[in-house]
Amino acid sequence: QKEVEQDPGPLSVPEGAIVSLNCTYSNSAFQYFMWYRQYSRKGPELLMYTYSSGNKEDGRFTAQVDKSSKYISLFIRDSQPSDSATYLCAMRGLTGGGNKLTFGTGTQLKVEL
């Protein structure tokens, strides 16, 4: 079993839709949770960075972390064609446990006109 599970999609939605992307994980040591966006043949771009449980909002993006369920989500409101990309969740433990990020395999999103 992978430490981080993420549905690869592809997920296709109409423009303006609310998108929900999710990851589950098995390692209870994970404390920091991130979402990256990766366009085709480009490097990952950091979207959201959260610590422990709770919600964080930035513009059209909202990240949620539920540590009790080992489940994280990214919501995109008013989705745009420019949001079409692969979304990667990533997580790590506290510094003493190492700085390496553990990634999901990514969910491919397509927002259609």
Partner 1 sequence: NAGVMQNPRHLVRRRGQEARLRCSPMKGHSHVYWYRQLPEEGLKFMVYLQKENIIDESGMPKERFSAEFPKEGPSILRIQQVVRGDSAAYFCASSPGSENEQFFGPGTRLTVL
What residues line the site for partner 1 (CB under 8 A)? 4, 6, 34, 36, 41-46, 49, 88, 90, 95, 98-106
Least Å distance, CB 17 to partner 1, is 25
Q: Report how far residue 77's alpha carbon sits from residue 73's, in angstroms, rounded to the nearest whole number.
A: 13
Comparison of 62 and 93: residue with beta carbon closer to partner 1: 93
Give the phi and the psi of residue 88 in degrees, each rounded to 5.
-110, 130
Q: Report how far residue 113's alpha carbon sits from residue 12's, in angstroms, rounded to the nearest whole number.
A: 11
Comparison of 22 and 102: residue with beta carbon closer to partner 1: 102
Q: Between the CA of residue 32 and those of 11, 44, 93, 98, what are the distances in Å?
A: 26, 17, 6, 12
Comparison of 28 and 41: residue with beta carbon closer to partner 1: 41
Least Å distance, CB 1 to partner 1, is 14
